[in-house]
Chain A
């Protein structure tokens, strides 16, 4: 049953991924201003514009370019950067771990804060604790990450003369520092997700706490801690799993700015630089990887949800 459900979801995901690949391919080509002209002026790669176009394969019809690109993608070739001439996949391989570590830090922080606060907020509904937590959550959704990052960089420098490092230390240079440098940006990136997950945890837990079996548990004289944490939370967090896909997508979007501010050589910064330079293969490659990651995460979340709650498969 589960296998059939996953197969069905996979079948739906394939056409979506294909359409996404078309969007990924077409969008950067709509960017105004000719990258070839820009390259010729700045780097003089060829004698004239037509020669450079032919060299880059940009002189053929767009659908021919698309199918050729798709064919290459299936063999793991995402093309090479128009500017650096380095393979996109190789560059992504170097940058993906940076963004993944940042994303994992953000989502871990989000869950670690959100679930306990959500539980306390629901268990103490309409008390001062609940109001404080809810207001803090809405505030968390309202504060822009780039502002938080700016404050974290500027204010401690003024007050204590301390400035968080905005460069990047490679793992090979100092493994411990490599990991600790992700903490601050990770926390900033996770604030909004934390707020969203907290609100959902609270809402779901409140619904479960009103159910008959919970009333029975109270009638049996069980302790509040057992009722909330053992009997209710398990059922309440099932829907929370589903928003993880959405949150991961948002975190990936957020890395574009956070990596820019903290100077991390991740995928987000790679994409931003590529957009500024109109580097088609890089924009396509990064977007395709991002979309694929999100589709896979959503499929995993769906499968996980179906495993945790068998009613979904019906």
Chain B
């Protein structure tokens, strides 16, 4: 039992009693609540962003339960009805409930956002860490390609890649991931260079650790804060870019509702008679991006204020 008892010298987290798993579990939750509470007090705008993000996530996950109608369900006698108690956001020119379409649209935006960031960040980490760690000719060559890639406007390259891949959810993810990889890898490379020069990496090398072990055990965990911040900040930009691609007809094909596509196509001619068709999808995009941007900014300030002013993922439109 002596092992589980806290020793006088061992540091102890406040509220955590070693040797009592149930209480320790509860304390962990309490700590999480305290942390969230502190974050909300210190960063009220970030907290608002957090609430919006959580709402969007719930909309995306529980779309079937939240939406009163199917995203492609035609409601008889409800063509271009204004917002009201039955159809909260009104209906469109094909008699479909706009609220239901906006709710289902969250699924596209959130899926594209998270998948793109996951793929893009993994690629960026691979390129950035290897380039920063190995240096030399490899670094010079990789960075020239990154330079070239970064010379293209974000939206132009996304559009060109989409033209190659064709419409579709996975293709949107790939095209946007390719774009964010370049900018993110540059920042990750910078962090890797500074971490790779630290004494503990040198010590690991002196102890005979190989490159894979040094990278996985010492470098990546120490650039993780940068990676997390880049991922959070990039989400808003990716959602915005997806909506712009969909607006131009290069996104997820109909009838699945994407917020950007809801603002374009045949519906545009009816917007003069049913302006709600022009308003709500745009409100949804702006709110989602606003939420992710606010949360991302606040997290960056809390996790690593040095990254303030670093390049934000580009935007289209």
Q: Which residues of A line the B interface, CB within 8 A?
A: 12-13, 15-20, 23, 27-28, 30-32, 131, 134-135, 138-139, 141-147, 150-151, 154-155, 157-158, 192, 196, 200, 203-204, 239, 246, 249-250, 252-254, 256-258, 260, 271-272, 275-276, 278, 283, 287, 290-291, 294-295, 298
Contact B151 A291 (CB under 8 A): yes
Cα A157 to Cα B296 with chains together (Å): 37
Q: Which of B70-78, B199-207, B277-285 contacts A (4 or more CB under 8 A)?
A: B277-285
CB of B282 within 8 A of CB of A144, answer yes
Any A CB within 8 A of the CB of B289? yes
Q: A142-B290, A271-B156 are in contact. List 19 more A-B contacts (CB 8 A).
A: A20-B149, A23-B148, A138-B294, A141-B289, A142-B236, A143-B282, A143-B285, A144-B247, A144-B285, A146-B263, A249-B153, A249-B154, A250-B315, A253-B314, A253-B316, A257-B155, A271-B159, A291-B151, A291-B152
The 3 closest A-B pairs by CB, nearest first: A253-B155, A253-B153, A147-B282
Q: Are B154 and A253 in contact (CB under 8 A)?
A: yes
Is B45 an interface position by the 8 A CB rule?
A: yes
Taken residue by residue from 204 to 237, chain B's Cβ proximity to chain A (1 for < 8 Å, 0 otherwise) reads as 0000000000000000000000000000000010
Contact at A203–B317, with CB atoms within 8 Å? no
Known: A138-B290, A155-B275, A287-B156. A257 touches B316 (CB 8 A): yes
B147-A16 in contact (CB<8A): yes
Q: How far is the CA of A16 from the CA of B152 in the complex (A)?
A: 11
B148 touching A19, Cβ below 8 Å: yes
Contact of B161 among A27, A139, A200, A256 (CB under 8 A): A27
Known: A135-B45, A203-B309. Contact between A257 and B275, CB under 8 A? Answer: no
Q: Is there contact, CB below 8 Å, between A12 and B293?
A: no
* B contact patch SS: helix
Contact code string B231-273 (vs A, CB < 8 Å = 1, else 0): 0000010001001100110000000000010011000100110
Number of residues in B with C-beta < 8 Å to the partner? 51
Closest approach, in angstroms, between the C-beta of B263 and any C-beta of chain A? 6
Over the window 151-183 of chain B, the binary record of Cβ atoms lying under 8 Å from chain A Cβ atoms (1 yes, 0 no) is 111111001110110100000000000000000
Contact A239 B156 (CB under 8 A): no
Decide yes or no: A17 and B317 within 8 Å by CB, A28-B160, A147-B285 being known contacts. no
Given A158-B272, A257-B317, A17 contacting B151 (CB threshold 8 A): yes
**CA separation between A217 and B160, bound complex, in Å?**
53
Task: Determine whether the beta carbon of B286 is less than 8 Å from that of A144.
Answer: yes
Q: Within 8 Å CB of B28, what residues of A?
A: none
B286 contact set on A, CB distance < 8 A: 139, 142-144, 147
B145 within 8 A of partner (CB): yes
| Residue of chain B at shortest CB distance from A247 | B314
Given contacts A154-B278, A158-B272, A250-B314, contact A20 B289 (CB under 8 A): no
Flag if B153 contacts A250 (CB, 8 Å): yes
Cβ contact of A158, chosen from B159, B163, B275, B312, cutoff 8 A:
B275
Q: Min CB distance, A26 to chain B, in Å?
A: 10
With A20-B151, A291-B152 already in contact, the answer to whether A256 and B159 are too (CB < 8 A) is: yes
Q: How far, in Å, is A164 (CB) from chain B's closest CB?
A: 13
> Whole-angstrom distance between the alpha carbons of A17 and B147 in the complex?
9
